[in-house]
């Protein structure tokens, strides 16, 4: 399953009301570290689709949600569980570190 594009208007349905945990990647086209972790997030999305959804929200096209959650730098990754933000990481990480973080937060 590929990553899911989320917008300000779909965030509530796609993330807050999701029945499984959702990792949200706040990113932008001009952000090189965002581009670096993109392929890893796609792979993780395929590998962990049974227990996690990976959503991407473009902060330039959708400024409301990033502002609501205090996103100051990108990439910012947040894990949402049961409608609440459970954990946050800022900055690019290797795929292995992202997987470790996901597993520790969704176990």
List, by residue number, the catalytic residues. Answer: 31, 34
This prediction has a pTM of 0.96
Assess contact for 38 and 23: CB atoms under 8 A.
no
What's the rounded Cα separation, in Å, for the pair 85 and 16?
Answer: 9
DSSP code, position 82: T
Q: Give residue for tokens 């569980």.
A: 81
Q: What is the pLDDT of residue 107?
A: 82
Domains of the chain (ranges plus CATH)?
4-95 (3.40.30.10)
Cβ atoms 15, 24 nearer than 8 A: yes
What is the pLDDT, as a whole number, of residue 1?
Answer: 64
The tens place of each residue's pLDDT in the chain, 107 residues long, gives 689 999 999 999 999 999 999 999 999 999 999 999 999 999 999 999 999 999 999 999 999 999 999 999 999 999 999 999 999 999 999 999 999 999 999 88
Instruction: Report the C-alpha gap between 19 and 32 in whole angstroms.
Output: 32
């Amino acid at each position: 399953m590929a990553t899911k594009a989320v917008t300000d208007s779909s965030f509530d349905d796609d993330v807050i009301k999701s029945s499984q945990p959702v990792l949200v990647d706040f990113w932008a086209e001009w952000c090189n570290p965002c581009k670096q972790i993109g392929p890893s997030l796609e792979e993780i999305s395929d590998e962990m689709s049974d227990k996690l959804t990976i959503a991407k929200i473009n902060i330039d096209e959708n400024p409301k949600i990033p502002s609501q959650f205090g996103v100051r730098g990108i990439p910012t990754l947040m894990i949402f569980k049961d409608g609440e933000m459970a954990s946050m990481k800022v900055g690019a990480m290797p795929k292995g570190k992202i997987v470790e973080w996901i597993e520790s937060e969704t176990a």
